[in-house]
Amino acid sequence: MDPRNSKLSDLIVNYACHIEPGEKVFIEYEGSACIPLVKQMIADVYKAGGKPFVTIRESAIIRAICMGCDEEQISYQTDYMLYQNREMDAYIGLRAFDNVSELSDVPAEKMNLYYQITSKASQSLVNNTKWCVMKFPNAAMAQLANMSEDAFTDFYYDVCTVDYAKMSKAMDPLVELMSKTDKVHILGPGTDLTFSIAGIPVRKCDGKNNIPDGEVYTAPVKDSMNGVITYNTPSQEQGFTFENIRFEVKNGKIINASANDTERINALLDTDEGARFFGEFALGVHPYILQPMKDTLFDEKIAGSFHLTPGNAYENAFNGNRSAIHWDLVLIQRPEYGGGEIWFDDVLVRKDGLFVLPELEGLNPENLK
């Protein structure tokens, strides 16, 4: 067994989820590559006095189900998922997809139906348990990152086991500033966007919910956003890689959307009424994640990036928007990606991916390594 799995499992079980005696822990995984880490987590949950429960997820099976599913069937499936979830104290989700495009040919109406209904189960875990979700390295993931599997695996463990305690302390001034901020103005190539975050709670992600972690998030006031945004990072969603995504937004709603497949992105945004509004705004600060790899859990933490998310808002930073969709779309503002600026209440906060206010400089990559 790779000894790095022991360190990673300890981080998940004892730091991120802080499992205590008697707690029920739901571990869900996809991909056989995950099994050594799952076995280590089971052992560590037992060592902490918890009770592990494990289930296997498989995208190829989800695809087969979706091809012929109906509302009654998926609702019943979700009911028993909800029954299981309500007894759990913690949730750990682990993924090593063999084929990230497995769901790409599922008809949009079937995929939307599936996510509309089953999202109730995933949201019940996020809202009612201690939780941590992560990916695990395999050949497919390394291919997305354009790296050899060995090189990617080394990168993965370095990224996932960064000093989160140091990162957490450096995040505090940003949390304080965002909590006092009303107007946000974002500028960059193809982007000129304003919105308010007044009154919405601000949360730091310091290794407690995602591995890897490294973001501070809130949500825009639902109807406050106006302008245009052009994302410069590809995004894998429902088995398809979207690129060149551009939104025109009026009073909080995406009124015009285009991408490399404009018909497909509009079908996704028509999943439900909330999918065309935004549920999250976050700044990414992980010092070792610098390039996109079409994996949201990594890309949303890229140093010098932010993500602005169509769809559902988190309960702990709630702006009133609900949706089966929560799509973290990333815009990198470092110079090699075109640069850009973020202003809070007419004060420049970050330029070309670097924080310029003295109290925030601890979040710049050279200070977090």
Rounded CA separation 271/260 (Å) = 19
- pLDDT for 103: 93
The share of the chain scoring above pLDDT 70, in percent, equals: 100
pLDDT band at 176 (very low <50, low <70, confident <90, very high): very high
Span 352-356, mean pLDDT? 98
User: Tokens 């999250």 identify what position?
Assistant: 280
- pLDDT for 238: 87
pLDDT band at 100 (very low <50, low <70, confident <90, very high): confident
Report the mean per-residue pLDDT for the chain: 95
Q: Using the predicted structure, report yes or no on whether residue 274 has a pLDDT greater than 90.
A: yes
Q: What are phi and psi of 183, to 5 degrees?
A: -90, 130
- pLDDT for 318: 97
Neighbours of 108 (CB within 10 A): 15
Tell the CATH topology of 4-160.
Answer: Thermophilic metalloprotease-like (3.40.1830)
pLDDT band at 118 (very low <50, low <70, confident <90, very high): very high
Under 8 Å between Cβ of 294 and 318: no
**DSSP labels, 7-40:** HHHHIIIIIIS---TT-EEEEEEESGGGHHHHHH
Q: Using the predicted structure, report yes or no on whether residue 1 has a pLDDT greater than 80.
A: no
- pLDDT for 2: 84
Q: Using the predicted structure, report yes or no on whether residue 196 has a pLDDT greater than 80.
A: yes
- pLDDT for 17: 95
- pLDDT for 208: 87
Span 225-252, mean pLDDT? 96
Rounded CA separation 188/34 (Å) = 39
Least confident of 289-298, 305-314, 349-358: 289-298
Give the highest mean pLDDT range of 3-17, 228-242, 245-259: 245-259
How large is the C-alpha radius of gyration of the chain? 20
- pLDDT for 349: 98
Span 363-367, mean pLDDT? 97
Rounded CA separation 305/335 (Å) = 11
- pLDDT for 323: 96
Strands 240-242 and 235-237: what pairing? antiparallel
Q: Using the predicted structure, report yes or no on whether residue 298 has a pLDDT greater than 90.
A: yes
Span 106-119, mean pLDDT? 93
- pLDDT for 225: 98
pLDDT digits (tens, 9 = 90+) for 33-57: 999 999 999 999 999 999 999 999 9
71-85 helix and 108-128 helix, angle to the nearest 10 degrees: 10
- pLDDT for 284: 98
User: Tokens 């600026």 identify what position?
Assistant: 341
pLDDT band at 294 (very low <50, low <70, confident <90, very high): confident
3-state secondary structure of 63: helix
- pLDDT for 342: 98
Q: What angle do CA 194, 198, 199 make, to 5 degrees?
A: 150
pLDDT band at 216 (very low <50, low <70, confident <90, very high): very high
- pLDDT for 144: 84
Cα–Cα nearest to 164, from 90, 214, 218, 203: 214
Span 258-287, mean pLDDT? 97
Q: In the chain, what are the domain boundaries?
A: 4-160, 164-368
- pLDDT for 210: 85
Q: Using the predicted structure, report yes or no on whether residue 4 has a pLDDT greater than 80.
A: yes
- pLDDT for 51: 98
Rounded CA separation 283/243 (Å) = 20
Under 8 Å between Cβ of 54 and 29: yes
